[in-house]
Amino acid sequence: MATVNVTRVAAFLNLTEQRVQQLAKEGILPRAARGLYDPIKCGLSYIRYLQRAIERKTDPLLEDGNSGERHERVRLLRANADLRESERAKMRSQLVAVRDVDKLTADLVRTTTAEIMAIPPRLAPELVGETSRVMIQAKLEKAVKASLKKLAGHRPAPFQESAAPKS
């Protein structure tokens, strides 16, 4: 391909002549000879240069592998936003502490265990002398249903605000 001067390359790439010369000096645009350029090679090189620039802007890690200051700021802003959102959710009672859930679960397990273990001693006197399998099953089902109804109405102690220090 024929070579052209810096003015034609600048017009082709929509750059100033000084910018074309600067990019050539940086090794981004190939120079055919002093003041002469191959416009096709320059166009391809400039496109690759712009693609790398776009990748660097969208990639949080810079070329040298270190996190950029911008990336760190974005990370800090996201962390602060997450913290504020978490605090707002807690204020709206949409968030509970793990230890509160653990206490509630332990209370429900204890209550359920106690209620189920109370069925045999409560039911044994009624089953003494019973010979009908159908009647024994009916009495067992009645006792289990009564225990389940009692458990369904069980209301654990309300959550108390955690005594964790606020930051």
DSSP β-ladder status, 4-5 and 36-37: antiparallel
Task: Copy the structure tokens of residue 143.
Answer: 């006792």
Q: Name the residue ranges covered by the structural domains of the chain.
A: 4-58, 65-95, 98-152
Q: Kindly provide the residue ranges of all beta strands, DSSP E only, lying in the chain, ordered along the sequence.
A: 4-5, 31-33, 36-37
Query: What residue type is 66 in one-letter code?
Result: N
What pLDDT does 165 receive? 45
**How do residues 90-109 score in pLDDT, each as one tens digit?**
777 777 778 888 888 888 88
**How do residues 112-142 score in pLDDT, each as one tens digit?**
999 889 999 988 898 898 889 999 999 899 9
**How do residues 23-44 score in pLDDT, each as one tens digit?**
999 999 998 888 899 888 999 9
Specify burial of residue 121 (Cβ count, 10 A radius: 0-12, 13-18, 19+).
Answer: exposed
